[in-house]
Amino acid sequence: MHSLSLKVFTDLNARTRRNCFPGRVGHGLATDLDFVRTRRVGWGCWNGGAAGVRRCRIVACAVKRNGNGGNGGGESPSLNPNPTPNESSYVSRSQTYAMLKQQMQVAAKSEDYKEAARIRDSLKMFEEEEPVLKLRRLIREAVADERFEDAARYRDELKEIAPHSLLKCSSDATTLGIRVQVRSVYIEGRSLPSRGQYFFAYRIRITNNSDRPVQLLRRHWIITDANGKTENAWGMGVIGEQPVILPRTGFEYSSACPLSTPSGRMEGDFEMKHIDRLGSPSFNVAIAPFSLSTLGDDSDSL
């Protein structure tokens, strides 16, 4: 499964950005530590644009998964080895939804428009009747009409049938002035629901709202699938870098997480340190929990 990670340094005062691809220019290995995988990348570069801006394009890319979990990560026992009927049903419906969307995409690409239209109608019917999507819609309508008692009742029903669905596909947390915002989306074109392969992309924005420069040293992720199977992963920096983030500036990057179930969750922390004083101790910056879901939530953009 191929992937491309981007990192962006943002100066919140000057409003300028510097984009670059991971790895190094020239032929060789670029390691994306967030995926615990190694990519062999060939780069083709040329000069163009104003002021001799150097641009790069990937001319070859192959991905190899590290099968041992990598980087000191390990797997803990399942948190929920015997999911309830409601949880199992939610996973099954999510898988059906993902398969229908992919089938419609395949039919449209092959110009079988009659089949694409048939699947589209099936999807609309599914979205109208699927309990999680229906309850979310009822909650939105109740809140818009200020029927808050109804909204509370619908939310309780949603919690009963699919507690995982209450977690948003985004999170926002601040630790010692360091703000971490995350947003995840389901990538249909990189997933194979019929084989139990689901691909989720996520974008992280780290903003230094403190008065001291910091450096991101290490990361720790806790990844849990819909069956309660949890994996811990540790690594140096992010996407092969240990970025320095000055006061009132930010650092952004995009990465991804493959799952064997149509939903799950991620959370974790970044280990950072202040670099303006020698011997400053490191500290952990929280990454609040966020959902990975084929059903998404009310906002599905990175």
Domain that residue 198 falls in: 168-293
Q: Specify the DSSP element, H or E, that contains 93.
A: helix 85-109
Q: What is the per-residue pLDDT for 77?
A: 31
Q: What is the pTM of this model?
A: 0.66
Tally of domains in the chain: 3
Contact 244, 215 (CB under 8 A): yes
pLDDT in tens, the chain (302 residues): 333 444 444 444 444 333 333 333 332 222 233 543 333 222 222 233 333 333 333 222 233 333 333 333 333 333 344 444 455 677 788 888 888 888 898 899 999 999 999 999 988 888 888 888 889 889 999 999 999 999 999 999 988 887 778 899 999 999 999 999 999 999 988 999 989 999 999 999 999 999 999 999 999 999 999 889 999 999 999 999 999 999 999 999 999 999 999 999 999 999 999 999 999 999 999 999 999 999 887 654 55
SS3 (DSSP) at 37: strand
Identify the domain boundary among 137, 166, 195: 166
* Residues 6+ away with beta carbon under 8 Å from 52: none
**154 and 213 housed in the same domain:** no
Residue whose C-alpha is closest to residue 261's, from 232, 234, 223, 287: 223
> Final residue of a domain: which of 115, 136, 166?
166
175 with 276, same domain: the answer is: yes
Q: Are residues 161 and 175 in the same domain?
A: no
The verdict on residue 299 lying in a domain is no
Residues 256, 271: one domain? yes
Same-domain pairing of 275 and 179: yes
Do both 281 and 184 map to the same domain? Answer: yes
Evaluate whether residue 238 is within a structural domain: yes
- Please check whether residues 151 and 232 belong to one and the same domain: no
Burial per residue of 166-201, b for 16 or more beta-carbon CB atoms within 10 angstroms, e otherwise: ebbbbbebebeebbbbbbbbbeeebbebeeeebbbb
Residue 281 lies in a domain: yes
Domain limit, last residue, from 166, 195, 210:
166
In this structure, are 160 and 173 located in the same domain? no
